[in-house]
Structure 1
Amino acid sequence: MMKRLPLCLTVVFLLIFTISAHSADIYVSPAGADNQDGTISRPLATVNAALRMAREWRRLNDPRIQGGIRIVVKGGNYFLNEPVFIRPEDTGTADSPTTIEAAPGETPVISGGRNITGWKKAGSVPGLPAAAKGKVWVADVPLDGGRPAEFRQLWINGQKAVRARDRNADSMSRILSWNKADQTCRIPWPAIKGLTNAPSLEMVIHQWWAIAILRVKEIRVQGDSAQLFFHQPESRIQSEHPWPAPWISKETGNSAFFLANAVQLLDQPGEWFLDIGAAKVYYWPRNGEDLSAASVIAPYHETLLRLEGTIDHPVKYVNIKGLRFQHTGWLRPSRQGHVPHQAGLYMLDAYKLKVPGTPDKKSLENQAWVGRPAAAVDIRFAHNIGIENCLFEHLASTALDFGKGTQQSMIRGNLFDDIGGTAILAGVFSEEPVEVHLPYDPTDQREWCRAIEITNNLITNATNEDWGCVGIGAGFVRDILIAHNELAELSYTGISVGWGWTRTLNVMRNNRILSNKIHHYGKHMYDVAAIYTLSAQPGSVISGNYIDSIYEAPYAHLPDHWFYLYTDEGSSFFNVKDNWTPAEKYLQNANGPGNIWTNNGPAVKDSIRQQAGLEPAYRHLLEGRKTADKNWPINQEKK
C-alpha cells in the first residue's frame, strides 16, 4: 500500500485543488470572438484572451475574483496561432485559484496542428518508386510566415502515418562499420534508384539505450556498400561521444539502422514524404482512406501551453482540467540532428577524456552537456499547479514537462497516448552549461523541483519516435511521489528517477515510487528496466510495484541485458521492497552505500499486484489503452 500523506499536507492539497462554487466564470468557444465579454452567451474565442481578461481582474482586484476564476472552455477544436502562455501576473491564491477547464460533458481540443486540404492524385513525381505510381496523393504545404511549413509527423484520421523509409514495419539493416576519425559510416547499399540524390535523407541508428537521428550530407557508393557523411553538429558529436556509441560485434551483430525521408523510399500504403523545397506533401493512402474527405493534420507548434514564472515571481495556484492536447511537432532532428545521451536528453557536446577524472569522479572517462526536448505543456518556476483529467495524444516529443522551480503540484488522472517522446518529465536534468556527471545541489531552494505528485495516470504507446525516451522521467527531484500509474507499450524504460551518475549527496531526497503497474516495455531498446535509478537519493523508496512482460528488442546488442529493477551508477540509500516481478532479474550497477533490498520477486503476495496500478476511480482510463502486440515475443528469464 502507498503511504498516506500527513494530514497537514492533505489539507494543503485540498485547498490547492478545490474550486469555490462562487468563482467568476469566463467562457471560451470556437464560435466566440475575442472582442466579446466572455459570458456564456458572448464567449471569447481563445484561452489567451480569457487569461488576459482574468489578469486584468486580478490587477484591479475586481470583487469577482474572491472565489477564484474559472475559464470554461467549450468543446471543439482550437488550432493555435501561438501557445497559451500563463505568466506570474496570472497567479492565483489558495482562496482564489485560476482554473482552466472543459465545459461539463464537452471535449475542447488544444491543437498545434493545421489541416492539410486540397489532396489530389499525384501525376509524374521524379524519384517515386514504380510500385507507388498512380497510388500516391499530393497536397500543397501551407505557408508559415511566407515559407513552407516544416513538419516530421502527419496524422490521417487520428492515426500517425509513417515517414517513408527503406525497411518497412520493424525491420532494420545493420551497419558495416563506423569510422570515428572521418565521422562516416559504411552500410550495405539498398540499390534504390536515385537515392544518392535525396537532400533530406536521414539515418536512424540503434545504439544500446538510445537512437541517433543523423542528416545525411553525402553518399559515396562503392559496389554493394556505401559510405555516408553527415551534417554538423551531429556528425562530430556522434563520432566523438563514447556512450552510447555505434556497436560493432561479430557475435551479436552491428548496430541496426534504417534510412528515412526520401521520395525514393515511399513504397507502401501509410507512408508519406514532405518535399520542403517544392512545398508538396505526398501520401500513399491505406485501405479505406479517402483523402478527399479525410482529416489530415500536420503539426505547426512544438509547445501548446507555457506556464512559466521566475525564481522571484513563480506562477501559483493554477489548475488545468479536462482539456485535450494534440498535434505537436519535433523539429530539432531536421535542423541539428539528434544524438541523445539518455532518456531523450540530446547532447550539445560530448567527448572522451584523454586524461580521465573530474573533481567528483576520479575515474570518469567522458564528459557531456545536454539539452532538453520541447514539450507540449511546459511548466517552470510554478507552485501549486494541478493537471487533472486531461488527454495528451498525437504529440511528437515530451507531452508534459515540470521543469526547474516547480513545487507542491499534482499530475493526476490523465491519459497519455501516441507520444513520440517521454510522457511526463520532471526536475532538472543538468542545465545546458553544466556537465551531466556533476551533482546538483543549489543553495537557493526556490530552484528545487520538489513535492510533485504523479498519480493515477495511464501512459500507453509513448516513446514511439525517440525510442530512448521513458514513460516517466524525473531528474534531480526531491519529495516526489510517483504512485498508482499504469505504463505500457514503451520502447525503453518505464520510470526513471535520478540523474548525475554520482554517489555525492545532492538535492535528491525522499522520492517514492509506489504501487505502479509497468508492463510491455523495452520494445526496441535494451539496458532497460521497468524502474531505473541514478545517484544518491537518501530516504527514497521503491515499493509495491507490479512489473511484467518485457518485450524482446529485436536488435539488442546484448540480448540478455534487460531487467525488472535497475539501480544504476551511484544509486544510494534506496529501500527496495515488496515489488512483484516474474523473476528476480535485477541489476545493481556501481551502486553507492545504503541500499536495502527486501522481499522482491514472484513470491510477493498477490495483493501487491491487485493494488498496483490505477485506483478504482481512475480505471475508466483503461478504455483508452493500446492493446499489447501479441505477435511480439516477451523476454523470459533463462533457467
Structure 2
Amino acid sequence: GASRQLLLAALKPLDHMLQPPCTLTVPASRGALHAAAERVASQLSSAASAADVVVCLKGGVHQLPVPLALGPQHNHPSGRRVIWRGAALPSAPTTLSAGAPLLRWVRCSHLDPATPPECAGPEWDGVWAHAADDVPHVTRAALPFRQLWVGGLRAPRATARTEAWNLSTTAEGYSARGVVPGLEWAAAELRWPSQVQNWIEPRCAVDRVAGRRVIVSRPCWAALTARKGGPPPAPLLVENLLRPPPAGQFACSDRHVFYRPREPYGGPPRDAWAPLHEAILQAEGLANHSFQRLAFSHATWRQPSTPEGYVPTQSLVTPLGEPPGAVSLGRARGVAVDGCSFANLGSAYALSVGGASQQVSVVGSSFTSLAGGAVKLGNVDDERALATSPERMDSAFRVVDNTIRLAALELRGAAAIFAGYVRDTTISHNSVAETGYTAISLGWGWGTHVLGRQTFMRNNHVVSNRMERVVSALNDGGCIYTLGPQPNSTVSLNYCEADRAPVVGSFYHDNGPCPPPPPRRAGAPGDHSLVGIRSVVGSRYFRTTRNVASNSPAPCVYLQGCCGAPALDARRTAPRARAGEGSTDGPSPRGPGGRVARLVPRRGAAAQQLRTGRGQLLAGLPRPRRGLPLRRRQGDSGERASARGVASRGAGGRRRGRREGRRSRPGRTWKDARGTCESMIFLA
C-alpha cells in the first residue's frame, strides 16, 4: 500500500544514478527520432560492444512526420538491451506526438467580414474557427478530425439526441418527420448506444441527406443490419453536426474546425492539437527493448469515419479485424514498457501487444483521457489459438502497477485492459477508474473451443486490482469479465466499487453458446467436481476467491449461460459449515436446459443444493485494506452473511431462482453501508 509507494519514491533518485549513460541523445525536433532510429540500426549492425545501448530523448514534444517503425535491425546483436529513455524530472516530459498544433484560429462573428461563411451567423458568436489547410502537414486522409485536445484536455465532438427528427427506419437509413438540414448533417455520424447489443455502440457515417431522408453509408448499414439481425432501430445520438458547439466541445468539417472555449470571453484556444496519424510507434520483431519515461499522445483511429464504419463484436473487434494500438508490438520478446504515460489518445487502444509476443511487461505506467481502451494483449485469431508450438503463442505478459483513468470515452465498448487468447499472463495491482465498459476482460472464443480441442489459454491470473466506477456508458460488462476455458487461472483479491451495469455481475464469467457436454460419472477423467464453482461451458477452470464488490446494482458474481447453453455444474464453496446444520440433499430443481448451481461446504460437510439465481455469497473475509468504506454489520453477532451473491442466467437469458442464505462459521462479517459482497471460493 502506502509504504510500498513511499519506498519506491525513495529509491527513484538511486535508480537514476545507477542507470547506464546515454549512447545517443535525440533533440525534440520534428523527424529527429526517425533519424536517430536509423543511426541506432546502423551502429548495431557493426557493434562489437556487449554493453546496453541507451537512446536518450530530450524533454519536449517530438512531432512525428510518420509513425516510428522499429524492427529486428534495432535489436542488439549480443542480446543486450536497447533502451529508449525519456527525460527525467524536473525536465519537461518527453512526448511522442502523432498530431499537429493548431495555431491560426479566427473568431466567428457576424460583424467580422473575415469570418468563414460557415460560421457567420450570430449564433456562432464566441466560437473559434481554424482552417484545415492551416494545420501543419495535414492530409485529406486525416479529415475531418475525430479528436481535438485543448490545454491538455480532451474536447468532445458535439453530440445531439435524435428525438427531434423522429427518425423511422427505411431500407437505406432513416426518414425524418421534417426536412433534414443537409449542411448540418454533411459530416454527421450516427451512434447506437446499447441499442443493437447491450455491450456495444456502433457508429456509421451519414452518406448524404435528401429532403427528409438520411442515407447511411451502405457498407456500414449492411454490417449494422447483420449485427442486429434485422432493421436497426433509430439511433439515439448523432455526432458532429455542423452547428455551433456547446462550451468546451468542437465540430469539424473537411474545411474547418469549430471550437467554443470553456471560458466565453477568453482569447483563441491555446495548446490545441489535432491527430494526423493512427499510430505513434509500430514495432515488429523487437527483442530485449525497454521504453522508459516516454509519453505518447495525439494518435487517432479512422475506421468509424470510413464507409465501413464501426460495428463491433465486442471490445472493439469488428468483422474488418482487430483494433490497433497507438503503440503496437508484434512478435516481441523481452520488451518492457516502464514508467510511460499514454494520454490524450483517440486510438482504439493505447498499447497493443500480440502476434505471438512473449515476456512483455507493462509496469508503473499511466493511461488517461483515452478514446478507447488502455492495453490490449494477444489476439482473437481462433485458428492460431489452437497452436501447440510455444513460438506461436502470446504468453508471459505482466501488466502490473499501472493506473488507468478516463478510458473508453469515445469508443465506449473498449475494455480498459483487454486480453484475447493469452497464457501465463498476470494482471495485478492496477488501479482502473472511470471507464465506459469493462475494466479487465480476459479471454475470447465463447463456445468455439469449449468442447474438444482446447486453445492455449491457461495459467492466467487477475489479482489485487482496484476498479471503480466502471461500465458507466454501456451494459453487460463488469469489473472483471472472462471468456473461454482457461485451466489453472484465478481471479482473486480484487476490489470492485460502483460497477454501474444494472445486469450481470461485478465478477462476470461468460459462457457463450455451445452444446452441453455428455454426462460424466464422478471421478472419471475430465470430472470437475473440485471444491468451488466450475462451469462446464464457456469460462471454465477459473478459481475466483476473496474478491469484494461494493455499491453495484448487479450481483457480485455472475455465470452467463445464454443462447441455449445454460451454466451447468456450477459449484461454490462456502466457509466451513457449523456442526449440526442439516443437509438438503435431494433432487436438484432444474431450470430450462440445465442443472442448478451446487453449494459444496468444505471439510466433509454435507452438500447443499443452491438454486441458480440471485443467491447470497457467504462473507467472513478479513477486512480489506486501502481505506475501503466498510463497517461491521450489526446483528447476529456478525455471523450471518447478507451480501448479494451468485446470479446465473439460463437458456433464453432469463434469470431464475430465489434469495438464499446460510450461516457462516463464527467470525467477523463486513458489509459496506451501500452493500458489499465478498466471494469466498468460486471456480467457474
- For the superposition of Structure 1 and Structure 2, which TM-score range results when normalised by the shorter chain? 0.7 to 0.9
The aligned counterpart of 1:132 is: 123
Distance in 2 separating the partners of 1:196 and 1:134: 19
Aligned to 1:631: none
Hey, what's the Cα distance between the residues in 1 that align with 2:45 and 2:570?
Answer: 51
Deviation at 1:293, TM superposition (A): 6.1
- Does the CA-based 8 Å contact 2:298-2:346 persist in structure 1? yes
* TM-score normalised by L of structure 1: 0.75
Q: C-alpha displacement at 1:601, in angstroms?
A: 5.7
Name the residue aligned to 1:622.
none
Residue 434 of structure 2: aligned partner: 489
Aligned equivalent of 2:241: 262
Instruction: Kindly state the Cα deviation for residue 23 of structure 1 after the two structures are TM-superposed.
Output: 5.7
Aligned ranges 1:240-639 → 2 under 5 Å: 240-242=226-228, 257-264=236-243, 266-276=244-254, 279-287=255-263, 290-292=266-268, 294-309=270-285, 315-335=286-306, 336-348=308-320, 371-397=321-347, 398-430=349-381, 440-502=385-447, 503-504=450-451, 505-551=454-500, 560-569=502-511, 570-582=538-550, 584-590=555-561, 597-598=572-573, 603=619, 605-610=621-626
Aligned-partner residue type, residue 26 of structure 1? L
Query: What CA deviation, in whole Å up to 9, does each residue of 1:378-422 have, x standing for no partner?
Result: 000010000010110000121000111110111000000001111
In structure 2, what is the Cα distance between the partners aligned to 1:332 and 1:188? 30
**1:159 maps to which residue?**
153
Residue 127 of structure 2 is aligned to residue 111 of structure 1:
no
C-alpha deviation, 1:530, in angstroms = 0.6
How many positions carry a matched residue from both structures?
A: 527
Task: For residue 104 of structure 2, give the secondary structure of its aligned residue in structure 1.
Answer: coil
2:73 match: 89
Deviations 1:297-347 (A, max 9, x none): 1011111111112xxxxx210000011111111211111311111011122
Greater CA drift, 20-29 or 54-63: 20-29
Instruction: State which drifts further: 195-204 or 419-428.
Output: 195-204
Which amino acid in 1 is paired with 2:103? T
Q: For the residues of structure 2 that align with 1:404 and 1:608, how far apart are their CA atoms?
A: 38
Residue 175 of structure 1 and its aligned partner are, at CA, apart by: 7.4
Q: CA deviation at 1:442?
A: 1.6
Which letter does structure 2 place at the counterpart of 1:536? Answer: P
Percent identity of the aligned residues? 25
Take 1:173 and 1:500, find their aligned partners in 2: how far apart are those partners? Answer: 41
Instruction: Give distance in 2, aligned partners of 1:76 and 1:233.
Output: 42
Q: Does 1:26 align with 2:24?
A: yes
SS of residue paired to 2:438:
coil
In structure 1, the gaps of 5 or more residues are: 2-16, 34-44, 249-254, 310-314, 349-370, 553-559, 613-633
RMSD: 3.3
Q: For 1:506 and 1:592, how far apart are their aligned partners in 2?
A: 20
User: Against the structure 1 CA distance between its residues 130 and 603, is the aligned structure 2 distance closer, same or farther, given a 3 Å change threshold?
Assistant: farther
> 2:108·2:119 contact (CA, 8 Å) conserved in 1?
no
Q: Tell me the secondary structure at the aligned position of residue 199 of structure 1.
A: coil
How do 1:132-281 residues align onto structure 2 when only pairs under 5 Å count? 132-141=123-132, 142=135, 144=137, 147=140, 149-150=142-143, 151-167=145-161, 178=169, 182-185=171-174, 194-195=181-182, 198-207=185-194, 208-219=198-209, 228-242=214-228, 257-264=236-243, 266-276=244-254, 279-281=255-257
Which AA in structure 1 matches 2:59? G
8 Å Cα contact 2:364-2:402 kept in structure 1: yes
How far the C-alpha of 1:507 sits from its partner, in A, is 1.2
Q: Name whichever of 234-243 and 572-581 sits farther off.
A: 234-243
Query: Structure 1 residues 197, 118: CA separation in 2 closer, same or farther (over 3 Å shift)?
Result: closer
Shift of 1:423: 0.4
- What's the CA shift for 1:426? 0.4
Query: What's the secondary structure of 2:23's corresponding residue?
Result: strand
Which AA in structure 2 matches 1:240? Answer: A
Q: CA deviation at 1:147?
A: 4.2
Inter-partner Cα distance in structure 1 for 2:623 and 2:394: 33
Q: Shift of residue 607 of structure 1?
A: 4.7
Q: CA deviation at 1:280?
A: 2.0
Paired residues of 1:164 and 1:271 also in contact (CA < 8 A):
yes
TM-aligned CA distance change 1:219 to 1:461, over 3 Å? same
Change (3 A) 1:196 1:392: same
Q: Is the 8 A contact 1:543 1:578 kept in 2?
A: yes
Paired letter, 1:25: T
The answer (yes or no) to whether the contact 1:540–1:574 under 8 Å persists in 2 is yes
Aligned to 1:5: none
- Against the structure 1 CA distance between its residues 457 and 115, is the aligned structure 2 distance closer, same or farther, given a 3 Å change threshold? same
Report which structure shows greater RCO (CA 8 Å, sep ≥6): 1
Residues 21 and 215 (structure 1 numbering): CA distance in 2 closer, same or farther, change over 3 Å?
closer
* SS of residue paired to 1:67: coil
Please identify which structure carries the higher strand content.
Answer: 1
User: Structure 2 CA distance, aligned partners of 1:21 and 1:196?
Assistant: 58
TM-score normalised by length of structure 2: 0.71
Contact 2:245 2:251 in 1 (8 A): no
Which residue, 34, 47, 54 being the options, matches 1:70? 54
Shift of 1:185: 4.1
CA contact (8 A) 2:44 2:77 kept: no
Quote the Cα distance in structure 2 between the aligned partners of 1:148 and 1:18. Answer: 42
* Residue type of the alignment partner of 2:475: Y
Measured in 2, the distance between the counterparts of 1:174 and 1:417 equals: 35
2:386 is paired with a residue whose SS is: coil
Structure 1: distance between partners of 2:165 and 2:627: 43
- Aligned-partner Cα distance in 1 for 2:503–2:674: 10
| Offset, 1:117 | 1.4
- The verdict on how the C-alpha distance between 1:405 and 1:586 changes in structure 2, with shifts beyond 3 A counting, is same
Tell me, what secondary structure is at the counterpart of 2:252?
Answer: strand
* Contact 2:86–2:94 (8 Å) recurs in 1: yes
Label 1:635 to 1:241 Cα distance change in 2 as closer, same or farther (>3 A): farther
Choose the corresponding residue for 1:101, options 85, 97, 116: 85
Q: Which segment is superposed worse, 54-63 or 492-501?
A: 54-63
State the match for 2:607 in structure 1: none
Q: After superposition, what is the alpha-carbon deviation per residue over 1:601-637, rounded to whole angstroms, capped at 9, x for unaligned?
A: 683534545499xxxxxxxxxxxxxxxxxxxxx9979
Aligned to 1:46: 32
2:390 counterpart letter in structure 1: Q
Per the alignment, do residues 476 and 469 of structure 1 end up closer, same or farther by CA in structure 2, a change over 3 Å counting?
Answer: same
Q: Is the 8 A contact 1:463 1:469 kept in 2?
A: yes
